[in-house]
A = this chain, B = another copy of it.
Amino acid sequence: MNQKGKGKSGCAKQQRKRILIVDPQPLARERLAQLINREADLTARIVAEGREAAMEAIKTEPPDLVVTELSAQDLHGRGFVQELHERWPGLLVLVLSGFPDAVCAERALRAGARGYLSKQEPSSSVLAAVRNVLNGELWLEHKTAEQVLARLAIPVGDSEAAPERSLAERELDVFQLLGSGFSTREIAESLRIGAKTVETYRARIKEKLGLRSSNELLRLAISWVHRKLELEVTE
Contact flags A142-155 to B (C-beta < 8 A → 1, else 0): 00000000000000
Given known contacts A216-B181, A219-B181, A222-B222, is B28 in contact with A72 (CB within 8 Å)? Answer: no
Residues of A6-37 contacting chain B, CB below 8 A: 24-32, 34-35
Bound state CA distance, A101 and B121, in angstroms? 25
Bound state CA distance, A218 and B215, in angstroms? 9
Task: State the majority secondary structure of interface residues on A.
Answer: helix
Question: Are B27 and A98 closer than 8 Å at their CB atoms?
Answer: no
Copy tally for this chain in the complex stands at 2
Bound state CA distance, A24 and B123, in angstroms? 11
Question: Are B73 and A119 closer than 8 Å at their CB atoms?
Answer: no
Q: Which residues of B contact A35 (CB under 8 A)?
A: 27
Select the stretch in A81-89, A192-200, A226-234 that faces chain B. A226-234
Contact flags A203-235 to B (C-beta < 8 A → 1, else 0): 000000000010110110011001001001100
Q: Which residues of B contact A99 (CB under 8 A)?
A: 72-73
Range of interface residues on chain A?
Answer: 35 or more
Question: Are B229 and A73 closer than 8 Å at their CB atoms?
Answer: yes
Question: Are B31 and A120 closer than 8 Å at their CB atoms?
Answer: no
Residue A5 interfacial (CB < 8 Å): no
Bound state CA distance, A206 and B183, in angstroms? 16
Bound state CA distance, A24 and B126, in angstroms? 14
Question: Are B73 and A100 closer than 8 Å at their CB atoms?
Answer: yes
CB-nearest residue of chain B to A232: B72
A/B interface sample: 14 pairs, CB < 8 A: A25-B119, A26-B119, A26-B121, A26-B123, A27-B27, A27-B28, A27-B29, A27-B119, A28-B28, A76-B226, A98-B98, A181-B219, A218-B218, A219-B222
